Structure 1
């Protein structure tokens, strides 16, 4: 399978504890850093009707993504097409797991 494109998982880092107050409550630093983890894939336009006839699922979908098996892929996670956060954001609506690849239905958010 040729994986010529890249999508990116959007993962929010945890806020770091920088100190404790007099009552030992944690004081947190600034907002957490956002990390963009690459996902080599192939992506194509898709539709709700095709999802219903091809897979028998009733979901909202604007695109279909092909990739190698990846444990990070689960329902309702966000992925983007740009590693800087300025691209389109997609939400995973369905994940069909096969032996050597995943077919993931995503919806533009």
Structure 2
């Protein structure tokens, strides 16, 4: 499998409690965002194709082929070419994943 594109999974961790303001409300540190790179192939895809090919009813704009990656889970954000996508389904096979994603970043 020839994987030529670099994509990133986006992992946001919540800020930690660092104290309280004068009114007693909790104050949190800013959330941290972690980008984890992986190689893949991205192609246009559609919800109708997903239903026909896989029997899945999900919102899809693209499909990604990649090697198995524990960071790819349903709901995880993926960034490619300064555009954000959301994983709507991840089909796991022995030697590769077929990841269905939706452009726009939100569910």
TM-score for both structures, normalised by structure 1: 0.81
Query: Which whole-Å deviations, capped at 9, do the CAs of 1:12-39 have from their partners, x for residues lacking one?
Result: 1342555689xxxx8543x122111102
C-alpha displacement at 1:4, in angstroms? 0.3
Q: Which has the higher strand share?
A: 2
Count of residues paired in the alignment: 101
CA separation in 1, counterparts of 2:75 and 2:31? 20
The reply on whether 1:107 has 2:71 as its aligned counterpart is: no
Which consecutive aligned stretches of 4+ in structure 1 deviate over 2 angstroms post-superposition?
A: 13-21, 26-29
- Find the residue that maps to 1:2 and give its secondary structure: coil
TM-score norm. by structure 2 comes to 0.82
The match for 1:12 is: 12
Q: What is the rounded CA distance, in whole Å, between the counterparts of 1:18 and 1:93 in structure 2? A: 35
C-alpha RMSD of matched pairs (Å): 2.0
Structure 2 gap segments, 5+ residues each: none
1:92 aligns with 2:53: no
Q: Does 1:77 align with 2:63?
A: no
